């Protein structure tokens, strides 16, 4: 095998420079115009066939190997978040209220590094590598948009790899494991309708605040009392909006929140119980309610066979003491849209900054250890080439 780590080390200053430039100029989902332009231009300078505007602002590059063979998809996300940066870094965001607070700036830079690594070795492996620089990962449907725009056809990949730098985990540790790795997510909105009126005359009203308070308590029994204790799930009520004045009984309460799960049956059970609980509480008080679910993202479930190629790449790049296994994360990742259609492996690379992180992902204090970039880039390149060589050899 080519020593991708040694080559990636030589690209480290360039990857850091790209990352800092993206960090300073973050763009929200489906607005990654500057970022995508830099990526597309760089891929073209490497001689890679490049398509822009995929899923609105995505970029796809296709690297041809030395002989016909399988196709592997490598996915990197590019979008920032609506967060006001508070890191004080010299390359902090120049835009008010927009920040790379999840590390997608680093993923984009790493992806460009992977493009350089694989373009340089394309004469030594069969098949093709499809590089997807995806827009709008942060709950906006970017993966689905690129799929709708044909990223999984012509040519269709037989496997896919994705990666996240993860700053709660120790820097330079690699986490590759089969099975569920990131949770399914649903956004929910509950509207409770009562009958408003004078704060001093509750007997003439149906108090939506009171009903909402009981609904929140009862909803929290679904995970603790209805689900089997060995199933991982979350039900969070994140906001309540009701009422306008201290002496007016509210007519309506609006609750929003999120559901997280790994098992589709658990998800169905949570939704069914939410409807039953809300129906019962509202009936008891003469109120009514609606429950609306949106933005469903499936769980990311790593394919055992594809994970083996990623694991062997990880084992060749990092000492055994730095190969980790962790509990699945309850956060969601829209790589699931790809992993649900193509056998995939989603990997995590620990990237805690020296001295510990001041803030986790999505925090205004978020930062990441840039010294992990060569490892992350080598991991993607090495895993891709292992897949191409070994699956070409077994299906000539």
Query: Known catalytic residues?
Result: 79, 137
Could you tell me the smallest distance in angstroms from the CB atom of residue 232 to Zn ion? 20
d(CA 112, CA 16): 11
181 binds Zn ion (CB under 5 A): no
Closer CB to Zn ion, residue 102 or residue 160? 102
CA distances from 265 to 233, 256, 293, 303 (A): 11, 22, 16, 20
Closer CB to Zn ion, residue 46 or residue 140? 140
Could you tell me the smallest distance in angstroms from the CB atom of residue 369 to Zn ion? 16
Closer CB to Zn ion, residue 48 or residue 102? 102
182 binds Zn ion (CB under 5 A): no
d(CA 19, CA 312): 28
Instruction: Report residue 339 as tokens.
Output: 């992993």
Q: Site for Zn ion (CB under 5 A): how many residues?
A: 1
User: Rounded to 5, what percent of the chain is helix, strand, coil?
Assistant: 40, 25, 35
Q: Closest-CB residue for Zn ion?
A: 102
Could you tell me the smallest distance in angstroms from the CB atom of residue 81 to Zn ion? 7
Q: Which of 4-29 are b and which e, b meaning 16 or more Cβ less than 10 Å from the residue's Cβ?
A: bbebbeebbeebbebbbbbbbbbbbb
Could you tell me the smallest distance in angstroms from the CB atom of residue 360 to Zn ion? 10
227 binds Zn ion (CB under 5 A): no
347 binds Zn ion (CB under 5 A): no
Residue 312 and residue 386 in contact, taking contact as beta carbons nearer than 8 Å: yes
Site for Zn ion in 21-40 (CB under 5 A): none
Site for Zn ion in 68-127 (CB under 5 A): 102
Instruction: Report residue 235 as tokens.
Output: 């039900």
Could you tell me the smallest distance in angstroms from the CB atom of residue 179 to Zn ion? 20
Closer CB to Zn ion, residue 212 or residue 352? 352
Pairing label, strands 197-198, 248-249: antiparallel
d(CA 309, CA 346): 12
d(CA 340, CA 25): 32
Report CA 113 to chain centroid distance, whole Å. Answer: 20
Closer CB to Zn ion, residue 126 or residue 168? 168
> Under the rule (CB under 5 A), what is the footprint of Zn ion?
102
């Amino acid at each position: 095998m080519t020593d991708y780590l040694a080559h990636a080390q030589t690209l480290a200053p360039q990857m850091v420079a790209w990352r800092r430039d993206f960090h300073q100029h973050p763009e929200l989902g489906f607005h990654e115009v500057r970022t995508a332009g830099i990526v597309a231009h760089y891929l073209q300078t490497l001689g890679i066939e490049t398509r822009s505007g995929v899923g609105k602002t995505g970029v796809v590059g296709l690297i041809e190997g030395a002989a016909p063979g399988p196709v592997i998809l490598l996915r990197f996300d590019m979008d920032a978040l609506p967060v006001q940066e508070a890191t004080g870094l010299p390359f902090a965001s120049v835009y008010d209220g927009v920040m790379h607070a999840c590390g997608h700036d680093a993923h984009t830079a790493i992806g460009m590094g992977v493009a350089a690594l694989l373009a340089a070795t394309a004469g030594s492996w069969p098949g093709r590598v499809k590089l997807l620089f995806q827009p709008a990962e942060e709950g906006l449907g970017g993966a689905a948009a690129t799929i709708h725009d044909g990223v999984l056809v012509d040519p269709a990949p037989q496997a896919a790899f994705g990666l996240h730098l993860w700053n709660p985990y120790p820097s330079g540790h690699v986490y590759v494991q089969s099975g569920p790795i990131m949770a399914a997510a649903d956004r929910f909105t509950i509207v409770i309708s009562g009958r408003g009126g004078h704060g001093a005359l509750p007997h003439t009203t149906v108090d939506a605040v009171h009903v909402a308070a009981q609904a929140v308590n009862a909803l929290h029994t679904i995970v603790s009392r209805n689900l089997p204790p060995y199933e991982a799930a979350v039900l969070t009520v994140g906001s309540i909006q009701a009422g306008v004045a201290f002496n007016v009984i509210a007519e309506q309460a609006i609750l929003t929140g999120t559901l997280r799960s790994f098992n589709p049956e658990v998800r169905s059970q949570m939704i069914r119980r939410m409807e039953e609980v809300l129906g019962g509480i509202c009936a008891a008080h003469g109120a009514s309610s609606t429950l609306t679910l949106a933005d469903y993202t499936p769980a990311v479930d790593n394919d055992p066979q594809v994970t083996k190629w990623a694991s062997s790449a990880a084992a060749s790049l990092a000492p055994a003491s730095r190969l980790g296994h962790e509990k699945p994360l309850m956060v969601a990742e829209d790589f699931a849209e790809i992993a649900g259609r193509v056998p995939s492996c989603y990997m995590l690379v620990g990237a805690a900054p020296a001295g510990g992180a001041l803030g986790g992902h999505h925090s205004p204090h978020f930062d990441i250890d840039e010294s992990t970039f060569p490892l992350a880039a080598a991991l993607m390149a090495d895993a891709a080439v292992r897949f191409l060589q070994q699956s070409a050899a077994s299906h000539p």
